[in-house]
Every structure is written in structure tokens, then in C-alpha cells.
Amino acid sequence: MPLFPFRRRSTAFASGEPSDAENPPRRWGRWALVILIVVCLHLGAMRWVGRAQRPVNPPPENPPVQVELLTQKPVSPPAPRPPTPAQTPVKPAPTKAVEPPNPTPQPKPAAPAPTPTPSTTPAPPVTPVVADDDTAQAQAAAIAAASAASAASASAQAAVPASQPVVASGDKFSVPPSGELRYDTLVNGVMNQTGTIHWTNDGQHYEMVVSIPLPFVGPYVYSSKGHIDTFGIAPDQYSEQRGRRAADIAVFNRETRQIVYTRTPNSQPLADGAQDRFSVVMQLSSLVRGSPDQYKPGVTRQFSVADNDSNEVWALETVGDENVQSRGGFTTARRFTRLPRREGDKRKLDIWLAPALGWLPVRILQTEPNGMQIEMLWADKLGIAPDAR
């Protein structure tokens, strides 16, 4: 019996058939398949745990019926309004300066003073009267100069705050203060690294840098910088860099009133109050901060928005107040949604502004044409504390 297996092996070698020594590779293949299945199960479990830990918000509902449409107003008619209060205080100053010389004859009543003529001292009062006229004129000139200086300083002081809280076009706005905003980023519902919105505002200029990290692709960086004019935020340059690709830049030329792009040789006219894809978020926040009661469900505001190669009109409609779940819990926020720009428009944008955060965005949900969803949920803010209105 013991020789039987040995004889089978010898015959196998002689006949050229595979032996049992050649079977282990098949077993190793089976083990590799088992290990691969186990790894896939672990990855699926980790992904499920990540989804379970992230805040869950219901899908956005359909917007309400539009009840009011707000558009950008021309800047030319309201522009002269700010100088008028500066001129009115200056005009009274010269009038007051002219009046003091007229009262100078008032020293004439001093002439009755010499009535006690019995004494020989009427001459001395005459010379003091002349001296009083000179001093009165000098004092009048000093008063006129002081009033003119105070009027000029008052006009200068009035010009500075007027550009911040109120827009000359009639739309009230209040630009958010500087701060480093941090957001939890999700791509197609999967939690990723923390994204940031770097926002600076010195009252005259602003800069906004949005960074969204994406695995295996690199960060998506959107940058917008410019100044603040009578319409609010006014971009001068917008750049968009996706992953390791070169940045696409759009330049807002205020002199030629044209928008030029590095991605295409075409240029488009620059409209008043024009924004880019991300500055429009802070522009909307500024307008709501200035007049929150104006934005009721159904109220829609139009913006001229530039992308990296084109310019179009966005209609952001007020949906209403909703509860948004973020890292810190539930927050009441006012939702705005972009209406379809054309038939079959697949790129969507929803913005939630929270009054408890000074009307800063607590949630931003952007859906790309290919169906990819990029979501930003409020985490915290570094720097200046939000001034809630």
C-alpha cells in the first residue's frame, strides 16, 4: 500500500501530467481572492461608519413660486447723493464768515461811552475801538477758518462710513468682517478633509480664497479679489484651479468695462454689480445682512456672474428658513437656490445663510454637470467672532 502513491507519482512524472507540487499556486490564488474580499468588506465598513458619523441633511426641496424679482440698479442716478451732504455744511461756513464783518459797526454804541465829556479822556476810547475792530475781524476770520476745517473734516468722516453700511444704488448691504472659515467637505456624500474659506475685508478691498481638498486629485482652489463699490463687492480678478491643472483666470476690466479670460480669447461686457462664481456668495451675504427682512420666500435677486470662460445671469430665489445639521448641531438658516439658467441646466447651487453666524454660509451644496456633488458644512471660524445681526 505505501508504494501505491509513490508509483502514481512516478507515472505522473513519466507521462507528463501535473503533480500535486504544482497545485499550490491555485491555492494561493484562492487565498488572495479571500484576502481581497476581506479588504473590500473592511473598506465598505469604514465608508459606512464615515457616512453614519457625518451630519445628514434632507435633499433640497423644490423652490417656491417667485413673488418678487430684484435686479441691480444703475449707479449713475444715485451717485451724486453722497456729495450733497458734504456740500451743505460747507456753504453755511462762508455765510457765517461774511456775517462777522457786518457786526463790526456794533462797536459804534461804544461812542455813547464818551458821553461823560467832562473828563478829557474821550480820545483813549477811540483807539481801543479800532483795536477791537481788528480783533473782531481776526476772530471772525479764525471762526470762519475753523468752521471750514470742521466742515471739511465732517464731510470726510461722513464719506467713509457711508460707503460701508449703505449702497448708493439704494440696496443696503453690510460686508462680513474678516475671518478664516472652516468647513467639513463632502464629495458625493463621503466625508473628506476640512475645507477653508479665507475671507479678508478692510472696508475698501477684499480677498476670498476657497480651498476644497479632494483625494487623488488635489485641492480645488477658487480665488476672488477686488474692491468694494456702490454696488457692494466688485471683483477685479477671479481664478479657478482644479487639482494640478493650470489656473483659469477672469479679469474684470473696469476701464474698458469688459471681462477677459485666459481660457478663451472672447471677452464680454462688464455689467454693474457683476460677480464671479464664489464672490456672489459673499455678495448675497452682504445684501441679506443689510436688509434681512426683505428676503422672504419667493423673493428672487438677479446677479451677473462670470465663470472661467463666460458670463451669465443667475437668479437666486429665497426658499425660506430651514434647519441645517452641521458639526455643532442644528442651525436655523435661510436657503437660497439658483433657478435653472436654461432648459436642461444640470449645474445647481444651494446656499444656506445662518443669522446666528452673522448671515455667513453654513452650508453650500454645488452639483456639477457630471452629477458630482460638492458640499461644505460649517465647522468653525477662526479670527474675528461673527457679529450676528
In this prediction, residue 59 carries a pLDDT of: 61
In this prediction, residue 214 carries a pLDDT of: 80
Domain ranges of the chain: 68-73+171-382
In this prediction, residue 344 carries a pLDDT of: 87
Which helix or strand (DSSP H or E) is residue 233 part of?
A: strand 232-242
CA pair distance 389, 356, nearest whole angstrom:
8
Residue type, 40: C
Alpha-carbon distances of 224 from 75, 184, 307, rounded to whole Å: 23, 21, 11
In this prediction, residue 1 carries a pLDDT of: 39
The per-residue pLDDT for range 170-207, each reduced to its tens digit, is 788 899 999 999 999 998 888 888 999 999 999 999 99
Question: Which residue intervals of 307-373 are DSSP H helices?
Answer: none
Radius of gyration of the chain (CA): 37
Dihedral sign, Cα of residue 269, residue 287, residue 361, residue 234: positive
In this prediction, residue 129 carries a pLDDT of: 40
The per-residue pLDDT for range 307-364, each reduced to its tens digit, is 999 999 999 999 999 999 998 899 999 999 999 998 888 889 999 999 999 999 999 9
Dihedral sign, Cα of residue 333, residue 186, residue 175, residue 173: negative
In this prediction, residue 179 carries a pLDDT of: 96
68-73+171-382 to CATH, choices 3.30.420, 2.50.20, 3.40.50, 2.30.29: 2.50.20
Indicate the pTM of the whole model: 0.62
CA pair distance 254, 72, nearest whole angstrom:
17
Query: Which segments in the chain show pLDDT lower than 70?
Result: 1-26, 42, 44-67, 72-169, 383-389
